[in-house]
Amino acid sequence: MRLPDRVVLRDVSPRDGLQSEPVTLSTERKLELIDGLAHAGVSRIEAVSVVHPKLVPQLADAEAVMANLTRRAYCRYAVLVPNIKGAQRAVTMNPDEITVFLSASETHNWKNVHRSITDSLQELQTVCDMSRAHHVPPSAVIVASFGCPYEGEVPTSVVVDLAYRLFGMGVREITLGDTVGVANPKKVQAIFSQLRQDIPGLNLGGHFHDNRGTALVNMLAAIDVGITLFDTALGGIGGSPFSPGAGGNLATEDAVYMLEESGVATGINLEALLALGDRLEEWVGHPLPSRVRRARGRMVPVGPEGYVHD
């Protein structure tokens, strides 16, 4: 197994996380969350999205959030952009990067952004052109890369083809999303290995949801084939708002703990994440799913004397 010296974690809790919570945080709290992440050492943060406020009212204050950020030099703040209209808003916010996305399955793309994959690709071309015209590098996510809840299996060839198309429109960073947590180590290694072989010069990332407890193991499998960029969310929030705790993102705390303990640097301070998680937990009003959070870090005392452990 190959373990690199360093892995980059992009925390998506302010966007992918908060959009799944029934409560809407105030702009002030969002800023506290984002700056808390940066303060803990997170170097990439998906700060906001510019999805229509009717669809995702929790993130309606994107402009206010981006305008009032304490920008740290070592941190890149991203805006998630679903379409051209969103891009027009995003470029006014001075983001460090713009994240675009489309699904690897036709049905999922229709349900998600109400258009075909072909139409999405055309729209993404315009968005990427706008992004670069403002000197902002676009980063793409291929959603449902490892399986679709409507169509089931997603052929690797479909993902590779989409990656080629995105590369052709100038995208140099693509993240594969395991939207409903159905990836497994074997499939993860197969897809990433093929993409690395087929499209050298493409920076690849993994975005694993934890519906079946496999997010961490899929990250390790991806690391083993050379991937060093992963989306995570503070506390493991995110995913479907209808099954809290069951389908969140890989928790940033859990990724940091496992990596740092294995000698892989993340640049992120675990204690600072745990403290920030205390505040987030209070704000969202329920326990966060992160496992390391529940264990409060590295070591806990065992049970009473005389209790048989093994």
Pick from 5, 157, 197, 308 the residue near its own copies by CB under 8 A. 308
Q: Which of residues 55-74 bind its own copies (CB under 8 A)?
A: 55-56
211 interacts with its own copies by CB under 8 A? yes
Pick from 124, 128, 251, 288 the residue near its own copies by CB under 8 A. 251
234 interacts with its own copies by CB under 8 A? no
Question: Which is closer to its own copies, CB of 41 or CB of 236?
Answer: 236
240 interacts with its own copies by CB under 8 A? yes
Question: Which is closer to its own copies, CB of 35 or CB of 195?
Answer: 195
Q: How many residues bind its own copies (CB under 8 A)?
A: 75
Pick from 5, 186, 197, 285 the residue near its own copies by CB under 8 A. 186
Q: Which of the ranges 34-42, 71-79, 125-133, 245-253 carries the binding residues for its own copies, by CB under 8 A?
A: 245-253
The answer to whether the CB of 167 falls within 8 A of the CB of 198 is: no
Taking CA atoms, 156 is separated from 104, 124, 148, 161, 265, in Å, by 9, 21, 12, 9, 31
277 interacts with its own copies by CB under 8 A? no
CA angle 24, 27, 31 (to 5 degrees): 115
Taking CA atoms, 193 is separated from 10, 29, 163, 171, 259, in Å, by 21, 40, 13, 19, 21
285 interacts with its own copies by CB under 8 A? no
The answer to whether the CB of 176 falls within 8 A of the CB of 192 is: yes
Distance, C-alpha 233 to centroid of its chain: 7
261 interacts with its own copies by CB under 8 A? yes
